[in-house]
Amino acid sequence: MKNITIRELRGNDMEQMLVLLKSRDDLGEGGAEKRQVLMEWLAFKNPYENDEATYFIADDQGKIVAHLGRMPMEFVIKGNLRRGYYFHDLYVHPEYRKKGLGLFLSMSLYNAAEKNSKSFCFCIWTNEINLNFQRKRGYHELKYPSYVKILDPYPILIKRIKGQKQVAKIASLILKQVLWILDFFIFSLSKYRSKEIKVFEINRFDENFDCLQKRLLDKIGISPFKSSNYLNWKYVDRPFPKTTIFMARKNNEICGAIVLAMKEREGLFYEGTIVDILADPSDKEILWGLFRTAIDYFRKKKVCSIKCCSADSKQTKILKKFLFFGPVLNMPLTIANVKKLEEEERGYFQHIDNWHINYGDSDGLMLVP
C-alpha cells in the first residue's frame, strides 16, 4: 500500500489505462479499446473542465490499478449558475480486490475527489457496491423514479409462458394492437395537443438552445446547465454517437428538445430510452409533443419498451398520461460535500422534488459504445 499513490489522470496515462480496462470481463472483445476512447473523450474534451481533474487514479509504481471519474459541471441552482461535480465510473483491478485492497482504494479515490472539489458532488445510477461505499462516507441519499412504457409485450410473455413461443406471439400481437389503439385515443383526444407546435429531427444543438437554457434558469430547480457546447459534447460529437434528437418549435421559437437512444437486449429485443428532456417542465403542450414524438419514433423502430428516468414530478405526470408505468425502480442520487454548500442551500439540496435530473445526467450513455 505504501507504493500506491492517488493522483489526477494525465493524458499520457491512457496507454496504461487501456491495460486496466482489459481486466474488465464485462467489456467483451474490443470493448476495452472502445471504452478507452470514450474515457479519453470524457476526461479531456469536457467543455466545463477548466483545467480541473476529471479522473483520479491509483498508481502502483507506474501501473494504474483503480480509477474514479469526476465530471466538472455547471449547475443551475434556484436560477443561478454554480460549479458542481458528478462522481462516476469507479473501478478497481480484480487482483487488488483479491488482495483485500478494494475498499481501501475505493475510499482513497473518493477522499481525493471530495477534497479536490470546490463544491458539492453528486452521483446517480450507481450499483449497490458503490452505493455502500458512499453511505460509509456519509453521502446524503435521495431516490428518483424510473418509468417504463410497453410497446410490444412479447419479451414479457415469453418469460411467463415458457416453452410456448407460438402462444406468446399470438398474445403479444393482440396486446400490441390494444396498446396501439389506446395510444391513438390518447394522442387524438388530449387537451394538450397543439397545432402550433412543430417537432422535427436535428443533427446538433446551436445557440438557440443557449437562449432556451437561460429562459429555464428559474424553472428547473437543481440541474446541470446544458449549453449547446455541453449538449454537443455529450450527445453529438462523442465517439460512437448513438442518440437521435428532436427539437420542438412553437411560434418560430425553440421551446424544447428530447434526446433518444435504443439498444439491443438479449440479442432479440430492443429497448428505447428517453435520455434527456430539455423543456419548461410547466409547458404541458411542449412536453406532450416531445413525448408523443418519442413514442412514435420508437414504435417505428420496433422497440419493445421505453424507459424514462426523471426526478421532475411535472414530467412524470405527463409520462403517466402516456401509460408509462411506475416507478418500476427508484434510482439512488447521492450528494457529497454537503458541508461545502451555503447553509441555507443544504435543506434545498436534500429534497428530491428540487432536482431536475434525467437518465442522460449519468454516465450510463457516455461510456457505452
Question: Would you place residue 1 in the very low, low, confident or very high pLDDT band (cuts 50, 70, 90)?
Answer: low
The set of cell numbers assigned to 47 is 467543455
| 77 DSSP assignment | E
Q: Is CATH 3.40.50.720 the right assignment for the domain spanning 4-119?
A: no
In the block, residue with C-alpha cell 487501456 = 18
**Is 90 exceeded by the pLDDT of residue 197?**
yes
Q: Per residue in 213-234, pLDDT tens? A: 999 998 999 999 999 999 999 9
Q: Where is pLDDT greater, at 163 or 8?
A: 8
User: pLDDT value at position 267?
Assistant: 62
Question: Would you place residue 205 in the very low, low, confident or very high pLDDT band (cuts 50, 70, 90)?
Answer: very high
In the block, residue with C-alpha cell 428559474 = 218
Q: How far is CA 126 from CA 107, 177, 219, 330, in A?
A: 16, 36, 27, 12
Q: Where is pLDDT greater, at 311 or 1?
A: 311
Angstrom distance (rounded) from CA 12 to CA 33:
16
Closest to 132 measured CA to CA, from 113, 154, 110: 110
Angstrom distance (rounded) from CA 123 to CA 261:
21
Residues 6+ apart with CB under 8 A from 59: 4, 5, 6, 7, 65
Q: Where is pLDDT greater, at 341 or 212?
A: 212
Please write down the long-range contacts of 131-139, taking CB distance under 8 Å and 24 or more positions apart: 131/332, 131/334, 133/90, 133/103, 133/106, 133/107, 134/110, 134/334, 134/336, 136/107, 137/107, 137/110, 137/111, 137/336, 139/334, 139/335, 139/336
Question: Would you place residue 268 in the very low, low, confident or very high pLDDT band (cuts 50, 70, 90)?
Answer: low
Mean pLDDT to the nearest integer, 290-312:
94
Percent of the chain residues past pLDDT 90, beyond the cut: 69
- The answer to whether residues 53 and 9 touch, using CB atoms and an 8 Å cutoff, is yes
Q: Against a cut of 0.85, is the pTM above it? A: yes
Domains 4-119 and 146-332 share a fold: yes
Q: Please tell me the CATH superfamily of domain 146-332, with its number.
A: Gcn5-related N-acetyltransferase (GNAT) (3.40.630.30)
User: pLDDT value at position 366?
Assistant: 82
Question: Angle at the Cα of 334 (from 333 to 340), degrees rounded to 5?
Answer: 135
Taking the domains of the chain in order of start, what are their residue ranges? 4-119, 146-332
Q: How far is CA 121 from CA 74, 83, 100, 113, 183, in A?
A: 11, 9, 27, 9, 40
Question: Would you place residue 87 in the very low, low, confident or very high pLDDT band (cuts 50, 70, 90)?
Answer: very high
Question: Would you place residue 159 in the very low, low, confident or very high pLDDT band (cuts 50, 70, 90)?
Answer: confident
**Is 80 exceeded by the pLDDT of residue 269?**
no
